[in-house]
Chains A and B, each alone.
Chain A
Amino acid sequence: MAKNLPVVPTAKAGSLMETPTGITWRLQYPVISETCNMCLDCTLFCPDGAIDRKNRKLVLNLSLCKGCGICANECKENAIQMIPEYSGVRGVFG
Chain B
Amino acid sequence: MSTILLTGSDAAAYGAKLARIEVIAYYPITPAFPAMERISKFIDDGELNTRFVRVECDHSALAAALGASLAGSRTFTVTNSQGLLYMTEVVYHTAGLRQPVVMAVANRALSAPHSRFPEQGDAISQGASGWIQLFCENNQEVLDNMLQAFKIAETVRLPVMVNYEGYIQSHTLEEVEIPNQEKIDQFLPLNRVRTLDVENPQGVNTVASPEFYMDYKFNQNQAMEQAKTVIKSVATDYGKEFGRDWSGLIEAYQMEDAEHVFVAMGSMISDARIVVDELRKQGQKVGLIKVRAWRPFPAEALREALKKVQLITVCDKNIVHGLGGALGTELKAALYGQAVRINSYILGLGGRNVSTEEIKKVLELSEKTAKQTTASEWFGL
Contact = CB atoms under 8 A, between A and B. Distances in A.
Interface in B176-211: 195, 201-211
Contacts of B83: none
Contact of B195 (A8, A92, A93): A8
A9 B96 contact: yes
Interface stretch (A11-19, A30-38, A44-52): A11-19
A41 B210 CA distance: 30
B97 A8 contact: yes
B216 interface: yes
A2 interface: yes
Contacts of A15: 203, 206
In this complex, the interface size class of chain A, counting residues with CB under 8 Å from chain B, is: 20 to 34
Interface residues of B, number: 25
B211 A9 contact: no
Nearest to A25: B209
A22 interface: yes
A13 B202 CA distance: 5
Contacts of B216: 5, 9
A66 to B, nearest CB: 11
A25 B212 contact: no
A76 to B, nearest CB: 31
Contacts of A16: 203, 206-207
Nearest to A92: B211
A9 B157 CA distance: 13
A9 B97 contact: yes
A24 B157 contact: no
Nearest to A15: B203
B195 A10 contact: yes
A25 B208 CA distance: 8
Interface in B200-255: 201-212, 214-216, 218-219, 222
A13 B219 contact: no
Contacts of B96: 9
Interface of A: 2-3, 5, 7-16, 22, 24-25, 27, 91-93
